[in-house]
């Protein structure tokens, strides 16, 4: 008996674009305001109010489409998706049905074993709905501040086959969206919401069984994405085992489920509608959109180097391992900082080490990107050169790094002020060496008698001198001097 289980996952991602105003009215697009303070007749759906397109939403969407290698439609239009829900007072959502703004394209995702290219089917624009607040005593509140916020929906092909691939796709897309600065992509604020479509292709003795497709709605953390997909794979397999013939896509259709992060389980919500249930038709209130080649090319020219290309360049040009190159391309500014310092003549590896040791530690403490800790390319390059020129020791450099972030001063000035410049003054080094010898007669004796701990003792004395000098002495020079003095 043979049995193979292959998860088939496609992903829909909703991204709230960071335009100043909403997509079809002039209300502000702002998270966290008092309920219903950013609303007007258009976005609360009063009869007779006419929508007017915000061109910025189109430009941002074109930018994302181009970054995914999509074709950009020269002609696109708006359609009404009809359904009733309390957060949608018009009883239709303005969306794009048969003529999406962008598609098809691809996104390469990193994996433990290498990488994989995921096909993107389409990207289209629509308006977000409002938000229901169930935490109000005695009822449910409706907040329409979010109604009409531009929402870009990116739909992948079902090319994802493992939990790792699904999470990597979500993370890679998140990084790209932030990089392009088209959305804050703050997951806690719901700027980016993931909806994986999951089913299994189970092959038993040559027969393929397809389980019903489950769409898990509104996941707003990578953890939830991971938990929901992991749970669905297990659940669907268990259901299938109970009834291999009956638990099938053909018999059960598609379903929507939600994810409960506390129990880490998905729960049934409703059977999934088909497109014809929404009675899509073109919106008569909005003009179709035409996009010229000039417009598209103009936006393409603003994109610059994307994170994947930059990561590959760091590996090829600076000899970085994947992990380090990846960490330095989490955001655009951190890589810009590195490139800036190298451009000023600093050694690449040394700059990388500073950024990924002290830089990453400080960023981690503050919960920010490495570039946001307050260091400039000039400071970074300056510090790297001080170490290369033998003016600051490696251990002292970490202290200079921290101090120059605090003060904003040049590394040389910081090192001088803190007495961290390597001491090339032989008389000063000799004084420290003499002091260490005087204070540690036992260690000295072990070296003189050739005790088995002689080597360790020399190391101990060197450390004592470095301590006296607060890291400013040249360790090699110190060791040489210790040997000469003790053996004399």
Cβ proximity to Zn ion: between 28 and 201 the closer is 28
Cβ proximity to Zn ion: between 42 and 337 the closer is 42
Least CB distance from residue 126 to Zn ion, whole Å?
Answer: 16
Least CB distance from residue 49 to Zn ion, whole Å?
Answer: 9
What are 131's strand-pairing partners? 143
> What Cα–Cα distance (Å) separates residue 62 from each residue in 22, 102, 122, 303?
17, 7, 12, 11
Cβ proximity to Zn ion: between 147 and 377 the closer is 147
Cβ proximity to Zn ion: between 12 and 285 the closer is 285
Supply the angle between the helices 454-468 and 426-439 in degrees, to the nearest 10. Answer: 120
Contact between residue 131 and residue 111 where contact means Cβ atoms under 8 Å apart: no
Pick out residues in 104-163 that bind Zn ion (CB under 5 A). none
Least CB distance from residue 41 to Zn ion, whole Å?
Answer: 7
String of contacts with Zn ion for each residue 186-215, x by CB under 5 A: ------------------------------
**β-pairing verdict for 3-16 and 114-127:** unpaired
Least CB distance from residue 144 to Zn ion, whole Å?
Answer: 8
Least CB distance from residue 27 to Zn ion, whole Å?
Answer: 3
Least CB distance from residue 142 to Zn ion, whole Å?
Answer: 15
Residue 261's Cβ-side half-sphere holds a number of Cα atoms within 13 Å equal to 10
Least CB distance from residue 23 to Zn ion, whole Å?
Answer: 10
What are 203's strand-pairing partners? 4, 208
* Burial of residue 366 (number of CB atoms within 10 Å: 0-12, 13-18, 19+): exposed
Pick out residues in 222-281 that bind Zn ion (CB under 5 A). none
- Token pair for 467: 């301590």
Cβ proximity to Zn ion: between 40 and 372 the closer is 40
- Token pair for 432: 């420290």
Owner of token pair 């072990």? 446
**β-pairing verdict for 150-156 and 114-127:** antiparallel
Least CB distance from residue 286 to Zn ion, whole Å?
Answer: 15
Pick out residues in 311-340 that bind Zn ion (CB under 5 A). none
Cβ proximity to Zn ion: between 149 and 481 the closer is 149
Cβ proximity to Zn ion: between 42 and 472 the closer is 42
Instruction: Quote the CA–CA distance of 152 and 400 in Å, as a whole number.
Output: 45
What are 260's strand-pairing partners? 265
Run of H or E including 350: helix 348-354
Least CB distance from residue 40 to Zn ion, whole Å?
Answer: 3
Q: How many amino acids of this chain bind Zn ion (CB under 5 A)?
A: 5
Least CB distance from residue 147 to Zn ion, whole Å?
Answer: 8
Cβ proximity to Zn ion: between 43 and 437 the closer is 43
Instruction: Quote the CA–CA distance of 394 and 127 in Å, as a whole number.
Output: 54
* Burial of residue 234 (number of CB atoms within 10 Å: 0-12, 13-18, 19+): exposed
Cβ proximity to Zn ion: between 38 and 385 the closer is 38
Least CB distance from residue 39 to Zn ion, whole Å?
Answer: 5
Residues found in the chain: 488
Cβ proximity to Zn ion: between 41 and 345 the closer is 41
Pick out residues in 25-54 that bind Zn ion (CB under 5 A). 25, 27, 40, 42-43
String of contacts with Zn ion for each residue 6-25, x by CB under 5 A: -------------------x
Angle at 162 between CA 159 and CA 164, to 5 degrees: 110
Cβ proximity to Zn ion: between 4 and 34 the closer is 34
Please, which residues have CB within 8 angstroms of residue 402's CB and are 6 or more apart in sequence?
358, 362
Cβ proximity to Zn ion: between 42 and 182 the closer is 42
Least CB distance from residue 33 to Zn ion, whole Å?
Answer: 13
Of 165, 241, 237, give the one whose Cα is nearest residue 10: 165
Owner of token pair 């957060």? 87
- SS3 of 413, please? helix
Phi-psi region of 301 (alpha: psi -120 to 50; beta: other; left: phi over 0): alpha
Instruction: Quote the CA–CA distance of 174 and 167 in Å, as a whole number.
Output: 11
Say whether residue 289 binds Zn ion (CB under 5 A). Answer: no
Q: Which residues lie near Zn ion (CB under 5 A)? A: 25, 27, 40, 42-43
């Amino acid at each position: 008996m043979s049995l193979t289980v292959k998860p088939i996952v496609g992903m829909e991602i909703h991204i709230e674009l960071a335009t100043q105003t909403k997509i079809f009215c002039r209300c502000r697009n702002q998270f966290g305001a008092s309920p219903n303070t950013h609303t007007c007749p258009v976005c609360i759906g009063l009869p007779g109010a006419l929508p007017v397109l915000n061109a910025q939403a189109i430009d941002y969407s074109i930018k994302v489409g181009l970054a995914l290698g999509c074709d950009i439609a020269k002609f696109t239009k708006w359609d009404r998706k009809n359904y009733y829900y309390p957060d949608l007072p018009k009883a239709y959502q303005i969306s794009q049905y048969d003529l999406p703004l962008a598609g098809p394209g691809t996104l390469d995702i990193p994996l433990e074993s290498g990488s994989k290219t995921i096909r993107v089917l389409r990207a289209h624009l629509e308006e977000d709905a409002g938000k229901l607040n169930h935490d109000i005593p005695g009822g449910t509140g409706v907040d329409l501040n979010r109604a009409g916020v531009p929402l870009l929906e990116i739909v992948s092909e079902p090319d994802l086959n493992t939990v790792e691939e699904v999470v990597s796709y979500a993370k890679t897309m998140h990084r790209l969206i932030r990089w392009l600065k088209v959305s804050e992509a703050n997951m806690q604020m719901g700027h980016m919401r993931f909806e994986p479509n999951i089913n299994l292709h189970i092959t038993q003795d040559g027969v393929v069984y397809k389980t019903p497709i489950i769409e898990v709605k509104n996941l707003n953390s990578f953890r939830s994405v991971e938990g929901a997909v992991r749970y669905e794979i297990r659940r669907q397999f268990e259901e299938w085992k109970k009834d291999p013939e009956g638990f099938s896509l053909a018999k059960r259709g598609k379903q929507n489920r939600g994810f409960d992060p506390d129990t880490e389980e998905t729960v049934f919500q409703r059977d999934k509608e088909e497109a014809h249930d929404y009675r899509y038709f073109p919106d008569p209130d909005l003009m179709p959109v035409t996009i010229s080649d000039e417009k598209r090319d103009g936006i393409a020219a603003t994109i610059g180097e994307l994170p994947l290309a930059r990561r590959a360049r760091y590996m090829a040009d600076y000899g970085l391992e994947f992990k380090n190159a990846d960490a330095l391309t989490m955001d655009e500014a951190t890589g810009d900082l590195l490139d800036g310092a190298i451009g000023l003549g600093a050694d690449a590896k040394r700059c990388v080490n500073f950024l990924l040791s002290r830089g990453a530690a400080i960023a981690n403490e503050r919960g920010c990107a490495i570039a946001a800790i307050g260091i400039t390319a000039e400071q970074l390059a300056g510090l790297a050169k001080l170490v290369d020129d033998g003016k600051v020791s490696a251990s002292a450099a970490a202290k200079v790094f921290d101090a120059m972030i605090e003060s904003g001063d040049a590394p040389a000035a910081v090192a001088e002020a803190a007495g961290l410049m390597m001491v090339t003054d032989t008389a000063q080094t000799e004084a420290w060496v003499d002091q260490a010898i005087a204070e540690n007669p036992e260690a000295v004796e072990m070296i003189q008698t050739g005790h088995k701990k002689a080597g360790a003792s020399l190391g101990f004395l060197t450390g004592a001198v470095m301590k006296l000098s607060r890291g400013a002495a040249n360790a090699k020079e110190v060791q040489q001097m210790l040997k000469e003095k003790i053996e004399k």
